[in-house]
Amino acid sequence: MIKDKERRTRPGRDRDGARQLANLVLVLGVLAALTAPIGAIYQLTQPGGSVAVVVTDEEVLGDPTPEGLPEGTRLDLDDMRSSIQLEVDELPAGLRLLTRLDDLFGAALLLAGAVVLRNVLRDIGRGQPFHPRMESRLAGLAVVVVAATLLQPQVSTLATVVVLNRIDGLADGSPLGFLMFEFELLPLVVAGALVVLSRVFRHGRQLTEDTEGLV
C-alpha cells in the first residue's frame, strides 16, 4: 500500500517541480533582462561610450592609442583579445544610448524567450505536453534564437558605423573598421531543432485528439 501511495504522489511532485522550474526561469529571465535598461540609464550619465570595432592592422593592438586613431578615443582589449572596444571620451546622449541598443535588444529577446520557455515548462508540469499552443511556443523560441544570432550583431554593427562616422573614424589612415556580418552555426542548429520539435508536438497533439475520439 505504501508503494501505491508513492506512485500516486510522484506525478504530483514532478508537476510541482516543473512549475517551480518554470517560475524560476521567468524570474531569472526578468532579472537578467533588467541589467540592460539599468546599463543604458547609467550610460546616459557618462560623457562617452564604447563600440565594438575591428582593427585592420594587428600590429597596433599593443598600443591603446595607435597612430591614426581619432582624437579622444582609445582601444580597449579584453584579456583574451577576443573583442576590441573603442572607447570614445565624449558622445551626444543619443549616441550614448545607441551604444547600448544591442544590449536592450538582447534583453527584450531574453525576456521573450524566458516567458515562452516558462509557458512550455508550465504546460509540461500540468501534464499537458501536447497543449494546442505548444507548437507555436516552440516555434517562438526558435524565432528568438534566430533573432539573437542574426539580428543582435547587426544592431551592434549599426551603433559602430554611426559612432565611427561621427568621430571620423573611417578616414584614410585610420586602423579602425567594423564587421559587416557574423553568426554562429550552433544557435541556428538549435533553432532548427526547435522547429522540428514543434512539428513533433503538433503530430503528438493530433494523435492524442484522434485517440480521445476513439474512446
Are 76 and 85 within 8 A, CB to CB? yes
Query: Looking at residue 2, what is its pLDDT?
Result: 47
Query: Looking at residue 37, what is its pLDDT?
Result: 93
pLDDT tens by residue, 9-50: 555 565 677 778 888 888 988 998 899 999 999 999 999 999
Average of pLDDT values for 1-5? 48
Residues 6+ apart with CB under 8 A from 178: 52, 53, 54, 157, 160, 161, 164
Average of pLDDT values for 169-198? 82
Q: Which pLDDT band holds residue 208 (cuts at 50, 70, 90)?
A: low
Above 90 in pLDDT, residue 91? Answer: yes
The helix, strand and coil proportions of the chain, stated in percent and rounded to the nearest 5, come to 65, 10, 25
Compute CA distances 85 → 1, 56, 176, whole Å.
66, 14, 11
